[in-house]
Amino acid sequence: MIETVDVGVLSIVPPMIAIILALITKEVISALLIGILSGSLIYVLASGGGIIEMGTVAFGLMADTVGVPSKFNIILFLALLGALVYVVTIAGGSRAYGNWACTKLKSRRSAQLATSALGAIIFVDDYFNCLTVGTVMKPVTDKYNVSRAKLAYIIDSTAAPICIIAPISSWAAAVGSTLYETGAFQNELGAFVATIPYNLYAILCILMVIILSVTNLEFGPMAKVEKRAQETGHLGAVDTTPADHMLNDGNGTIWDLIIPIGALIVFSVLAMLHNGGYWSGQGLSLAEAFGNCDASAALVMGGFWALVVTFFLFVPRKLIGFKEFMSGIGEGIKTMVPAYIILTLAWTIGALCQDLLGTGLFIGELVQSSSIPVGLIPAIIFLVSALLSFSIGTAWGTFGIFIPIVVMISQYAAPELMVVTLSATLAGSVFGDHCSPISDTTILSSTGAGCDHIQHVSTQMLYAIVVAGCSFVGYLVAGFTYGNLLFTWLSAIGLLIVSLVVLHRISKKKLDHNELVNNL
C-alpha cells in the first residue's frame, strides 16, 4: 500500500516544475507530465525505492486516478458533450438563430445584446460558443456597423466566463471533479456551485458586456475602432472564418439549438435528483437530494439522453442523415481529446502532491508561520493564477495545477476562506485565458468573428484588465471580511461602474481632441 512520505521542501518541487515549465514552454501537457515524473522520482527515492520504479508510480497513480468512477464519468460526459455540440452545429440550429436575428433586430444595441444572449445560451462548452456565435452573428452586427473587434470581444467574454459559472458544462464537470477530489467537498456539484457567487471576474465580465452593449461606454483602443466603424463603415473584417464549413444551410430552426441544450439540462437535473434519492421514499428535500447526488454520473445520463433526443429530432426530419449523425458523434468526441489529456494529468499531479508527498501539510505550515495576512490570500492567488493562465493560454491547465495547492493552503491556513480562495483561483484562470494572445478561446473568438487576431487582443486587453482590477479589489474585501458576499459584490460592481464612466469620459475627450487637431 502506498503511503505518504515526509520530504519537506521537496514536496513543492513537482507543482513548481509544472508551473515554471508551463511558463517557459507555453505548453501545459508536457509541463504537467514532467511535474508528475519528478514527483514520482522524489517519492520512490524518499521511500527507499529505485529510479526504475518512477514510471511505475507515475503511471500506476494515473491509472488509479482515472479509473475512479467519478473521474471516468467526467471523461464520458465530455465525450457525449463533444458529440452533442458537433451534431447540433452541423444540423444548422445555430445558423437558424442568426437568420432569425437578422429579421428581428433593429438596432446596434439589440444586435449586441442578441450576440451576448446567444453566447449565454451556448453555455455548455466554450469552443462550441466561439465556433458558432461569431459566424452566426456577423451578418447582424455588420448591418449595424458593429466593429469585428467588438464582436470578437463579446464572443470571448461570453465563452469561458459563462462556462465557468454554468453548473452544466464541460468546465463545471472539470472544475467540480477536481475540487471534489481534494476531499474538501461532499460532491462535485456542490463544490462547483459554491464557487459561483465569488467568481468575480466571470460575473463582472458578463455584466460589463451587457453595460457596454446598452450604453456604448467604450474606451481605450476599442473606442477608436468603434468610432471608425460607425462613422466610416470600416469594420476591420478579415476573411478568416474556418468555422463556416460546420454551419450548413439546411432546414434547421432555432428549436434545433434550444431543444438539445434544454434536454441536456432537464435530463441532467432529473438524473441528479434520481441518484440523489429524491424519489427513493426517504423524504429528502430538493436541496438534500442535490447535495446527495453523484453529479458526474448524472451528467453522463443527461448527455446520453440529450443525444438520443437530438437523434430523433434531426434524423427522422432528414435534417442530417443517419451516417452523418453517427460520424458527427465521432468527430465531436475528437474535439475533446485535449481536455481528456489535461484533466488526466491535472488529476494525477493533484493526487501525487496530496496523497504521496504531503505538499498541503508543508505549504499550510509555511503559510501559517509566515507574516502574510490571511486576508490577502484570495487576492494573491487571483494574481498568481492569472499570470500563469495568461502565460500558458489555458484556464484548464492553470486550475488543474493550482486547485490542489490552494485547497491545501486553505485547509491549514485559512479554512474560512477556502471557497473564496478557490473562486479567486478560477477567476484568475479565466482572466488569463480570456486575454492571453495564445489562448485557444482568444484565437477562436477572433477567427469566428473575422477579426484580426492582434487587433482583438489589443482592443480587449484594457477591458479585461479593468474587470480584473475590480475583481482584485473585490477579493481584498472578501479576504478581510471573511467572505461577506454583499460587501464583496458592492465594492467590485460599484468600482466597475465608476471605472467605465470615468474611462469613457477620458477616452471621449482624447478622441474629440485628436479629431479637432486633425481638422485644423
Q: What is the pLDDT of residues 462-483, one digit of tens each?
A: 999 999 999 999 999 999 998 8
Per DSSP, the three-state class of 451 is: strand
Give the pLDDT confidence of 76-114 residue by residue, as tens digits: 888 888 888 788 888 887 677 777 777 788 888 998 998
What sign for the dihedral angle of Cα 275, 278, 279, 280? positive
Q: How confident is the model at residue 445 (pLDDT cuts 50, 70, 90)?
A: confident
Q: How confident is the model at residue 247 (pLDDT cuts 50, 70, 90)?
A: very low
Q: What is the mean pLDDT of residues 434-449?
A: 79
Q: How confident is the model at residue 460 (pLDDT cuts 50, 70, 90)?
A: very high
Count the residues in the chain.
520
- The pLDDT value recorded for residue 245 is 43
**Alpha carbons 234 and 224: distance in angstroms, whole number:** 12
- 404 vs 38, higher pLDDT: 38
Most confident range (mean pLDDT) of 67-71, 206-210, 392-396 is 206-210
Q: How confident is the model at residue 517 (pLDDT cuts 50, 70, 90)?
A: low
Task: Answer whether residue 208 shows pLDDT above 90.
Answer: yes
Give the type of residue at 293. C
Q: What is the mean pLDDT of residues 342-346?
A: 77
- 482 vs 438, higher pLDDT: 482
Choose the weakest-confidence range: 139-148, 179-188, 192-201, 233-242: 233-242
Q: What is the mean pLDDT of residues 343-355?
A: 78
Residues 6+ apart with CB under 8 A from 246: 86, 89, 90, 131, 132
- 446 vs 38, higher pLDDT: 38
What residues form DSSP beta bridges with 237? 451
- 17 vs 412, higher pLDDT: 17
**Alpha carbons 430 and 166: distance in angstroms, whole number:** 14
Q: Which of 180, 182, 179, 177 is nearest to 351 (CA)?
A: 182
Give the type of residue at 2. I
**Alpha carbons 344 and 173: distance in angstroms, whole number:** 13
- The pLDDT value recorded for residue 242 is 38
Give the type of residue at 61. L
Q: Which of 77, 4, 19 is nearest to 271 (CA)?
A: 77
Task: Answer whether residue 283 shows pLDDT above 60.
Answer: yes
Residues 6+ apart with CB under 8 A from 508: 223
Hey, what's the cell of 356?
504521496
- 47 vs 239, higher pLDDT: 47
pTM, 2 dp = 0.74
- The pLDDT value recorded for residue 437 is 78
Sketch the domain layout of the chain as residue ranges. 8-519
Instruction: Number of helices (H) and strands (E) in the chain: give both, helices first.
Output: 25, 0
